[in-house]
Structure 1
Amino acid sequence: MIEIINVNWINLEDKKIEVKDVNIPSEDNLEIDGSGKFLMPGLVDMHTHITPTSAKHYLYSGVTSVRNTGGNFEMLNLIDDVTPNVYATYRFIDGEPGLWGPTSYGNISTNDIETALAAVDELHKQGAKFVKVYGNIQEEVLEAVGKKSGEMNLEVAADLLHTKSIDSIKAADYGVKWLEHASSIVHSLYPNYNTQISQDEFNRISQIEMDEERLTDVLAHLIEKEVKIVPTLTLYRHLAEGRIFNPQELESSKQMKLLDEDKVFKVNDQFNAIDAQLNEDFRSRQKWEYKQVKAITGKYLEIGGEVYIGTDAPAGTWVYPGLSMIEELNEFKNFNLNNFEILKKAAVESKEVIGEDNGYLLLESNPVEKLENILDINTVFVDGKRFKHNDIAQYTVDGKSLMKEFEGIERKYSL
């Protein structure tokens, strides 16, 4: 047991800070003087894609649990102990042609119902916490997947950003319980919209003012069907604006420095390659979608819908594991939430979904004053383990061994 004495406990339930002694279940047995420091529950990224090479970066930014929304069972089992808790699904189910290509180590691309149902069986046997479907899935396949997943007590999460036929109403009726990126709600509001329309058609649709009555009706239906959304607003904003951080101080943070200097998890190579291909037409669409999803998120919160905070790191561009949670927290200031309420959503409400993670952050600065003070970390506690901040920074993984393992897994699924 670790006892932290005289610490400023961030009481997110009662919206107050109180000096007290706090006991943390741990494999260690020691007392820590918390005088002048702040203690709060760890953050949860509710939409991300963790890997063995990125795991430590979540801890380094105060994320003690992640909801992994797509990956590979064997690869995730290679993650070592320097990691947040992982609440995961594995290969996602897409239609043909797969948006990420044919069936591989990370996806099952099929228009065949039986093949899709076998994929649900695979996920269930692997211990996945939910099932993820993707934007080219066919309606009859989604309906069958939704039914079978329900029978197995697995919720269905959907990324339908690129769908041409399944809007949020259909998705909810087919049993989808999570709309990742708040996807397909825009399709319900603008029936002729999808990401593959011509620029002329997009220009026409983007001039249409959102129908507030229609928005309320759509979202009320989603609430009735118990649908949750994870808007990933930072992802939309970076795709629209490029490498502009909110707040700007993140650019010079210790966390960004560690990411930039990581010789194994070289995510900037990926971001630069993608960013170089984004033209102004694409950015204008992302700017419009960012505006729409903000409006959808605000209204869903207003009428009592369940909204969770996630990043999609490291997808798209400039969305970093761990660090981008600070950006996403700041996005929620758009919805008339104070910092206590935002932190509660990210560190308490999320755990009602994934389960208590026993994660805590001992901070040098007050995160209620400024959300980026979360990055001023002294110690991270996860699942009985204690990680001093400097120790996380110095920890390295064997990149060559992991690459060899990955190549074997890739071959396995390409046969």
Structure 2
Amino acid sequence: MIEIKNVNWVNLADKKIEVKDVSVPSENKLEIDGTGKFLMPGLVDMHTHISAASAKHYLYSGVTTVRNTGGNFEMLNLIDDVSPKIYATYRFIDGEPGLWGPTSYGNISTNDINTALAAVDELHKQRAKFVKVYGNIQGDVLKAVVKKSSELNLEVAADLLHTKTIDSITAADYGVKWLEHASSIVHSLYPDYNTQISVDEFERISQIEVSEQRLTEVLTHLIEKEVKIVPTLSLYRHLGDGRIFNPPELDQSHQMKLLDEDKVFTVNDQFNAIDAQLNDDFRRCQKWEYEQVKAITEKYLELDGEVYIGTDAPAGTWVYPGLSMVEELNEFKNFNLDAYEILKKATIEAKEVVGEDSGYLLINNNPVEDFSNILEIDTVFVNGKSFRHTDIEKYIVDADEMMKEFEQIEDKY
């Protein structure tokens, strides 16, 4: 047990900061002088894709738990102790043609019900916490997957951003419990919309104004079906606006410097390659979707629907592991929530889903005054271990060994 003395405890439940002694679970017995510092629960990224190469970047930005929304069982097992707690699913289930290509180490692409049910069995044997489905999944396959998953006490999460056939109402009626990116709700509000429509058709649809009554009807139905949403607003915003950060100072942060200098996790190469392919028509569509999802999120919160905070890092462009949680926290300032409520949503409420992680952050400045202060970390406590910020910065994974393992896993599938 670690005893942190005289620290400013950020009491999110009671919306106050109180000076007190706090005990943090640890493998070691230690006493720390917390005078002048702040202690808060660790952040939870409720939609992300962690890897052995990126794991330390979550801790370096104060994320002590991740909800991994798609990946590979063997690859996640390569992650060592310098990592947040991982609440994971693994290969996701898509239709044919697969949006990420044919079946591989990260996905099962099929229109065959029996193949999809075998994929659910695989996830259950791997002790996945939930099942993830993707945008080209067929209706009959989705219904069968939900039924099988329910029998195994696994909820189904759906990323239906690119669906042409299954809107949020249909997904909820089938029994889907999570809409990642708040996806397919726009499809329920604009029945003719999908991401593959022509520019002219998008221009027509984007001029339609959905009534408050219709928005309320759709969202009320989802709430009655106990659907949770993770809007990933920063993802939409970066796809629309490019490399513009909220706040701009993130670009000069310790965390961005570490990401820029990382020779193993070279995510900027990926982002630059994707960004170069995005044309003005695509960006205009993403800006429109961003505004739609903001309105959906605001109304869902108003109606007491379950909304969680996640980033989708490192997908799309300029959405970084750990660091982008600050951007996403700032996005939630749009929704009539104060700083305590936003931080509670990103910690206490999220941990009611993923389980208590005993994660805490000892930081140098008040996170309630400015979410960017979360990045000024002294020590991260997670999984019974403590990591000084400088130690996380210096930690390097064995890239050669990791690549060898990855090639073997890729060959297997």
Q: Tell whether the structures are fold-level matches, with TM greater than 0.5.
A: yes
Query: What do residues 229-284 of structure 1 show as CA deviations (whole Å, max 9, x unaligned)?
Result: 00000000000000000001100000000000000000000000000000000000
The alignment's TM-score, normalised by the length of structure 1, stands at 0.99
Q: Cα offset for 1:63?
A: 0.1
Where does residue 295 of structure 1 map in the other structure? 295
Counterpart amino acid of 2:72?
Answer: N
Take 2:383 and 2:320, find their aligned partners in 1: how far apart are those partners? 23
Q: 1:32 aligns to what SS in structure 2?
A: strand
1:322 matched to 2:342: no
Q: Cα offset for 1:5?
A: 0.4
1:351 matched to 2:340: no
Query: What do residues 119-138 of structure 1 show as CA deviations (whole Å, max 9, x unaligned)?
Result: 00000000000000000000
Take 1:223 and 1:69, find their aligned partners in 2: how far apart are those partners? 22
Where does residue 218 of structure 2 map in the other structure? 218
Q: Cα offset for 1:182?
A: 0.1
Query: What do residues 275-320 of structure 1 show as CA deviations (whole Å, max 9, x unaligned)?
Result: 0000000000000000000000000000010000000000000000
Aligned structure 1 segments of 4 or more residues deviating by more than 6 angstroms: none
Where does residue 5 of structure 1 map in the other structure? 5
Q: Cα offset for 1:400?
A: 1.1
Counterpart amino acid of 2:162?
Answer: H
Where does residue 90 of structure 1 map in the other structure? 90
Counterpart amino acid of 2:391?
Answer: D
Q: Cα offset for 1:155?
A: 0.3
Where does residue 148 of structure 2 map in the other structure? 148
After superposition, residues 6-21 of structure 1 pair within 5 angstroms as 6-21=6-21
Q: Cα offset for 1:57?
A: 0.0
Where does residue 34 of structure 1 map in the other structure? 34
Q: 1:176 aligns to what SS in structure 2?
A: coil
Take 1:44 and 1:386, find their aligned partners in 2: how far apart are those partners? 17
Where does residue 202 of structure 2 map in the other structure? 202
Query: What do residues 343-388 of structure 1 show as CA deviations (whole Å, max 9, x unaligned)?
Result: 0000110000000000000000000000110001000000110000
Where does residue 242 of structure 1 map in the other structure? 242
Q: Cα offset for 1:322?
A: 0.1
Counterpart amino acid of 1:182?
Answer: A
Q: Cα offset for 1:90?
A: 0.1
Counterpart amino acid of 2:7?
Answer: V
Where does residue 262 of structure 1 map in the other structure? 262
Where does residue 253 of structure 1 map in the other structure? 253
Where does residue 312 of structure 1 map in the other structure? 312
Q: Cα offset for 1:45?
A: 0.1
Take 1:384 and 1:393, find their aligned partners in 2: how far apart are those partners? 19
Q: 1:350 aligns to what SS in structure 2?
A: helix
Take 2:176 and 2:340, find their aligned partners in 1: how far apart are those partners? 30
After superposition, residues 107-256 of structure 1 pair within 5 angstroms as 107-256=107-256
Q: 1:153 aligns to what SS in structure 2?
A: coil
Counterpart amino acid of 1:244?
Answer: I
Where does residue 25 of structure 1 map in the other structure? 25
Please say if residues 58 and 322 of structure 1, whose CA atoms lie closer than 8 Å, have aligned partners that are also in contact: yes
Take 1:211 and 1:200, find their aligned partners in 2: how far apart are those partners? 23
Q: Cα offset for 1:210?
A: 2.2
Question: What's the RMSD between the two structures over aligned residues?
Answer: 0.4
Take 1:116 and 1:373, find their aligned partners in 2: how far apart are those partners? 45
Size of the aligned set, in residue pairs, is 413
Q: Cα offset for 1:209?
A: 1.1
After superposition, residues 46-57 of structure 1 pair within 5 angstroms as 46-57=46-57
Take 1:279 and 1:374, find their aligned partners in 2: how far apart are those partners? 35
Counterpart amino acid of 1:297?
Answer: T
Where does residue 376 of structure 2 map in the other structure? 376
Query: What do residues 73-123 of structure 1 show as CA deviations (whole Å, max 9, x unaligned)?
Result: 000000000000000000000000000000000000000000000000000
Where does residue 282 of structure 2 map in the other structure? 282
Take 1:131 and 1:211, find their aligned partners in 2: how far apart are those partners? 33
Counterpart amino acid of 2:383?
Answer: D
Take 1:395 and 1:210, find their aligned partners in 2: how far apart are those partners? 50
Q: 1:318 aligns to what SS in structure 2?
A: coil
Please say if residues 189 and 211 of structure 1, whose CA atoms lie closer than 8 Å, have aligned partners that are also in contact: no
Take 1:211 and 1:135, find their aligned partners in 2: how far apart are those partners? 26
Q: Cα offset for 1:339?
A: 0.5
Take 1:158 and 1:379, find their aligned partners in 2: how far apart are those partners? 35
Take 1:209 and 1:174, find their aligned partners in 2: how far apart are those partners? 28
Query: What do residues 306-343 of structure 1 show as CA deviations (whole Å, max 9, x unaligned)?
Result: 00000000000000000000000000000011100000
Take 2:149 and 2:109, find their aligned partners in 1: how far apart are those partners? 17
Please say if residues 233 and 294 of structure 1, whose CA atoms lie closer than 8 Å, have aligned partners that are also in contact: yes
Counterpart amino acid of 1:345?
Answer: K
Counterpart amino acid of 2:249?
Answer: E
1:335 matched to 2:325: no
Please say if residues 66 and 86 of structure 1, whose CA atoms lie closer than 8 Å, have aligned partners that are also in contact: yes
Counterpart amino acid of 2:352?
Answer: E
Query: What do residues 137-176 of structure 1 show as CA deviations (whole Å, max 9, x unaligned)?
Result: 0000000001110110000000000000000000001110
Q: Cα offset for 1:211?
A: 2.0
Please say if residues 381 and 387 of structure 1, whose CA atoms lie closer than 8 Å, have aligned partners that are also in contact: yes
Counterpart amino acid of 1:36?
Answer: G
